Amino acid sequence: MFCLHCQKSLEKIIDINNIFKVSTQHICEACMTQSIVISLKKVIPIDSFLLEYNIIFDKIYERHPEAYMTFLKPYYIYFLKNRSNDIFIYLDTLTLETMKVLDRLKLGNIFLVTLYETKEEIYENRDYW
């Protein structure tokens, strides 16, 4: 298997314990250490519900977004342990149109994880509410 960011081969030691396990890592250690994880959290009120907006990276990386799926594991674990009655949504970026759709659907409390922060502060501009 190859790193989706730099295309280097991912070294995996195969032994009797992991011979049939599927590898879920899509990024090598060098690319993982170069990625700056900021883990920013914002809470945005939508009607009588809350949108918990979690941002993983501070800049947009030009390669495959699937390579950074390994960074989502702590968010999944937190969600399953603490927020299992809410809705989990994963997006690459959050846009104004997505916010409008989430507002109209009235889904309840939403736990949203995005890879990148949007350039515009869409939750500050509430003209569309």
The pTM assigned to this predicted structure is: 0.71
Confidence (pLDDT) at 129: 47
Asked if 37 and 60 count as a contact pair (C-beta separation under 8 A), the reply is: no
Give Cα separations from 39 to 61, 104, 115 (angstroms).
15, 27, 10
CA 71 to chain centre: 7
Question: Taking Cα atoms as reference points, which of 66, 49, 58, 54 lies closest to residue 108?
Answer: 49
Query: What is the pLDDT tens value at each position of the chain, 129 positions in all?
Result: 677 767 777 667 778 887 777 666 677 777 777 666 677 888 888 878 898 999 887 776 666 767 777 788 889 999 999 988 999 999 888 888 888 888 888 888 999 998 887 765 555 555 544
Partner residues linked to 57 by β-bridges = 37, 116
Chain position carrying tokens 């879920």 = 24
Residues 5, 71, 100: CA angle, nearest 5 degrees = 100
Confidence (pLDDT) at 120: 59
